[in-house]
Amino acid sequence: MKLKVLLIMGVIGGLCACSERKGYFSPNEIPRLTSECEVLSKKEIERISNSDTPPDSDIFVRDTLPDGTIKGYCTLFPKAEILRTYDRLAQYPYFIIYKDFDRLTGKLLSKEIEAPGSITIGMSFHFYETGRVKEIKQEEKGYKLNVNQLLKLLSDRGIFIPKTDDNYVHPDTTCIGILGGIYRIKINGSLCYSVFYHLPKDIGSVYGKTLEIDGADGTILGEKDESYNSCE
């Protein structure tokens, strides 16, 4: 009798673990951007200018704010005149808000939201030097299956969805794969996604698998072995 109880408890425990594993990616909301044109403060520009990074290197500075938000500053290329900031908000740990500024004037040039898989989502904004909105882009236009729903689908399939930089270094290798990149593509004229993921044994390499997924209903159209470079 005691053995039977232990076996039942073990099965229940296993089911609970599986239910926790399946669909652990739960965000229903994403950060929202507005058309407000911002200006980088002198203090923030100095944060980069006073960096100890060699002059011919990309500059990268990162701070963790009291509320847990991670805020970073970097130049896009050595000696670049564009300064990029990113915010990984504590309440939206899976997403990053990128903003590009003119390094000399501090004026905002563009801002966008990036989801796991390095794919942009929601609305992106581009600005004239005057601060007026130049372009508003609906990143997911035409897709019935949005990126948040896609990430949930991948999570349910057993693919690990990173939410912090450290997750890429120390991913959950008990999953069947670790998300690498997500790309918007067309297959026979229909909007689809191409999803590259690493197998746990291939972490740190360019090898993995690619899923082709229907952008309308999430149907898996195909899967194949591939290297990361060939997905771009």
185: domain CATH number?
A: 3.10.450
pLDDT of residue 121: 96
Residue 2 lies in a domain: no
Query: Do 153 and 125 share a structural domain?
Result: no
Residue 30 lies in a domain: no
Query: Do 169 and 129 share a structural domain?
Result: no
pTM of the model: 0.80
As a whole number of angstroms, the longest Cα–Cα distance in the chain is 78
pLDDT of residue 23: 47
First to last CA, the chain: 58
Residue 162 lies in a domain: yes
pLDDT of residue 63: 85
Strands (DSSP E) contained in 45-167 are: 60-64, 70-75, 82-88, 96-102, 108-115, 119-127, 133-138, 159-160
Please count the structural domains in the chain: 2
Q: Averaged in consecutive runs of 10 residues, what is the pLDDT profile of the chain (232 residues)? A: 37 37 69 92 78 56 87 73 88 92 90 95 95 96 96 93 68 82 96 93 78 97 76 47
Choose one of 107, 138, 169: the last residue of a domain: 138
Choose one of 88, 113, 138: the last residue of a domain: 138
* CB 177 within 8 Å of CB 162: no
Residue 25 lies in a domain: no
- Show the domain range for 168: 147-227
Query: Do 80 and 51 share a structural domain?
Result: yes
Residue 21 lies in a domain: no
pLDDT of residue 135: 97
Choose one of 94, 113, 138: the last residue of a domain: 138
